[in-house]
Amino acid sequence: MKARIPNQPSRNDMMQRIQKMQEDMNAAQEEVENSEFSASAGGGAVEVTVSGKHEVLSVKIKPEVVDPEDVEMLEDLLIASLNEAVRKANDAMESRMQGVTGGLNIPGMGGLGF
């Protein structure tokens, strides 16, 4: 006699759930990729905006930080604001994916941009 586990989802039900989760993940990924993330450095002296695809959309530099004698400071401000904007985009992607998957760590799904 075989023991049966009650209320076990059928293979078809499970496949439908997986397909729905994949659709939700694709929608979430597209939503984040179409979003913009801004960050600034130096008290707003430099502001960078990137897309969820990590493409730089804009760079704003206040004229008073453009000092030909100290180009290194401007470079540091750009790096800091770019890194922060990209971190925000990554955090948004990770957060949206965790919302869709319920925090499950699904092997093979790490290539969705986070």
Minimum mean pLDDT range among 66-70, 89-93, 108-112: 108-112
> In this structure, is residue 89 part of a structural domain?
yes
> Does 81 reside within a domain?
yes
User: How many domains are there within the chain?
Assistant: 1
Kindly report the CATH number assigned to the domain that includes residue 54.
Answer: 3.30.1310.10
Sequence-ordered list of residues with C-beta below 8 angstroms from that of 49, at least 6 positions apart, any chain: 36, 37, 38, 56, 57, 58, 59, 85
Judge whether 65 lies within some domain.
yes
Residue 104 identity: L
Residue numbers of the domain that contains 94: 29-101
Whether 59 maps to a domain, the answer reads: yes
Q: Check whether 114 has a pLDDT greater than 60.
A: no
User: Looking at the domain assignment, is residue 20 inside a domain?
Assistant: no
pLDDT digits (tens, 9 = 90+) for 24-46: 999 999 999 999 999 999 999 99
Share of the chain above pLDDT 90, in %: 64
The verdict on residue 9 lying in a domain is no
User: In a 10 Å sphere around its CB, with 0-12 CB exposed, 13-18 middle and 19+ buried, how is residue 69 labelled?
Assistant: exposed
Q: How far lies 33's CA from each of 26, 58, 106, in Å?
A: 10, 16, 20
In a domain? residue 15: no
Say if 75 falls within a structural domain: yes
